[in-house]
């Protein structure tokens, strides 16, 4: 990952903070609370992280040497990063070695296959770091599409979402961008882990050009996992179903399980059981 990516991440997180958001135990420079400029100044972040202003300015200009783990920890505290953002920062700074393989893992663990088969009546599929669908159960095929009839390159969550946006799946009112942000966060994290994966980089370029919400989430360095979004599925035989799409990481791998559920007792739940 380039130093420019690190610089951009630091700048966006700095600009997203307000002085009044900072914990009381952090002693701000004199006159901090009185200023009206949105976001924190570079010198304010430098003071909180106990690094020189010139060094922090060079970091944001992509001209500084790679920061040490101690400096990264101090910056993460100053910028109030979440656990996911701290991990992202460490990877951007090269403190975590990128994976030697690409972002696709085609072999699905046997336990994941058993889990899919055991989800009786619950549509579910497994995606890899590129958001390629690498395994699915019968209920998912019955609800969405017969994945076995698709070319491997078309078995991608975002490509399918674009293909079915008007005919099969749509975001619930008020959540139109949630799915795109969910995918942007997943691919942003994967892009740092697999910085040499050209296919993954090409996917990001493709999705950013096609989907403004994805492009916005990507530019904002969204890395927070988005575990669930609500979608409307228009089934050719059952009609419309209001479903929640949940994603769960599978331990020990870069695979995730996506499953569709309906609110208990709802008409959609009854329709889902009929699959």
Q: How confident is the model at residue 174 (pLDDT cuts 50, 70, 90)?
A: very low
Return the pLDDT at 97: 52
- Name which of 30-44, 88-102, 168-182 the model is least confident about: 168-182
User: Does 119 share its domain with 36?
Assistant: no
Which among 135, 162, 164, 171 is positioned nearest to 244, based on CA atoms? 171
61 and 171, same domain (yes or no): no
Same domain, 223 and 125: yes
Q: Of 27, 57, 92, which one is at a domain's C-terminal end?
A: 92
Which residues, at least 6 apart from 151, have a Cβ–Cβ distance to it below 8 Å?
none
Neighbours of 80 (CB within 10 A): 15
Same domain, 130 and 211: yes
259-264: long-range pairs with CB below 8 Å, 24+: 259/119, 259/122, 259/123, 259/124, 260/122, 260/123, 260/124, 260/140, 260/143, 260/231, 260/233, 261/122
Quickly count: other Cβ atoms within 10 Å of residue 81's Cβ: 19
What are the residues facing 18 on neighbouring strands?
Answer: none
Domain that holds residue 256: 110-273
Question: 20: closest CA among 12, 10, 28, 30?
Answer: 28
Backbone angles phi, psi at 208, to 5 degrees: -65, -35
Q: How many domains does the chain have?
A: 2
Q: Do 21 and 121 sit in the same domain of this protein?
A: no
Question: Can you give the C-alpha Rg of the chain in angstroms?
Answer: 21
In this structure, are 19 and 152 located in the same domain?
no
Q: Is residue 52 part of a domain?
A: yes
Residues 65 and 115 in one domain: no
**Cβ contacts of 219 within 8 Å, gap of 6 or more:** none
Q: Look at residue 102 and tell me if it is in a domain.
A: no
In a domain, 100, yes or no: no
Task: Give the pLDDT of residue 27.
Answer: 47
Does residue 190 lie within any of the structural domains?
Answer: yes
Percentage with pLDDT > 90 across the chain: 24
99 located within any domain: no
- Residue 124's pLDDT band, with cuts at 50, 70 and 90, is very high
- The answer to whether 130 and 104 are in contact (CB under 8 A) is yes
Is it the case that residue 177 has pLDDT exceeding 90?
no
For 191-236, write each residue's pLDDT tens digit. 877 877 888 888 889 888 888 888 888 888 877 766 778 888 888 8
Instruction: Say if residue 71 is in the same domain as residue 130.
Output: no
191 & 269 share domain: yes
What is the spatial distance between Cα 230 and Cα 242, in angstroms, rounded to a whole number?
Answer: 7
Structure confidence by residue, pLDDT tens digits, 126-150:
999 889 999 999 999 999 999 999 9
Task: List the single range of 12-16, 178-182, 228-232 with lowest mean pLDDT.
Answer: 178-182
Count Cβ atoms below 10 Å from residue 119 Cβ, excluding itself. 17
- Residue closest to 183 by CA, chosen among 231, 148, 138: 231
The answer to whether the predicted template modeling score (pTM) of the entire model surpasses 0.75 is no
Strand pairing partners for 259?
124, 246
Query: What CATH number has the domain bearing residue 52?
Result: 1.10.260.40
The sign of the torsion formed by the CA atoms of 56, 60, 66, 71 equals positive
Q: Do residues 121 and 139 touch, judged by C-beta distance below 8 A?
A: yes
The average confidence (pLDDT) of the chain is 82
87 and 114 housed in the same domain: no
């Amino acid at each position: 990952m380039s130093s420019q990516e690190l610089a951009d991440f630091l700048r966006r997180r700095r600009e997203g903070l307000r002085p009044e958001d900072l914990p009381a135990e952090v002693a701000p420079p004199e006159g901090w609370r009185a200023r009206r400029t949105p976001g924190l100044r570079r010198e304010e972040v430098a003071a909180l992280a106990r690094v020189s202003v010139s060094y922090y300015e060079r970091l944001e200009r992509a001209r500084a040497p790679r920061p040490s783990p101690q400096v990264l920890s101090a910056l993460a505290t100053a910028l109030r990063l979440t656990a996911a953002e701290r991990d992202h920062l460490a990877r951007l700074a090269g403190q975590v070695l990128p994976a030697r393989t690409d972002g696709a893992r085609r072999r699905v663990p046997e336990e994941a296959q058993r889990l899919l088969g055991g989800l009786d009546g619950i549509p579910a599929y497994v995606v890899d770091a590129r958001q390629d669908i690498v395994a699915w159960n019968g209920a998912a095929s019955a609800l969405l599409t017969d994945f076995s009839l698709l070319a491997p390159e078309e078995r991608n969550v975002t490509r399918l979402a674009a293909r079915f946006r008007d005919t099969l799946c749509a975001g619930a009112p008020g959540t139109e961008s949630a799915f795109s942000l969910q995918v942007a966060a997943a691919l942003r994290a994967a892009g740092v882990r697999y910085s040499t994966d050209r296919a993954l980089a090409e996917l990001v370029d493709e999705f950013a050009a096609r989907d403004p919400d994805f492009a916005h989430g990507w530019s904002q360095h969204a890395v927070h996992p988005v575990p669930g979004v609500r979608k409307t599925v228009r089934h050719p035989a059952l009609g419309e179903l209001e479903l929640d799409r949940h994603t769960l990481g599978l331990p020990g791998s870069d695979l995730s399980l996506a499953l569709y559920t309906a609110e208990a007792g709802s008409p959609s739940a009854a329709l889902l059981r009929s699959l």
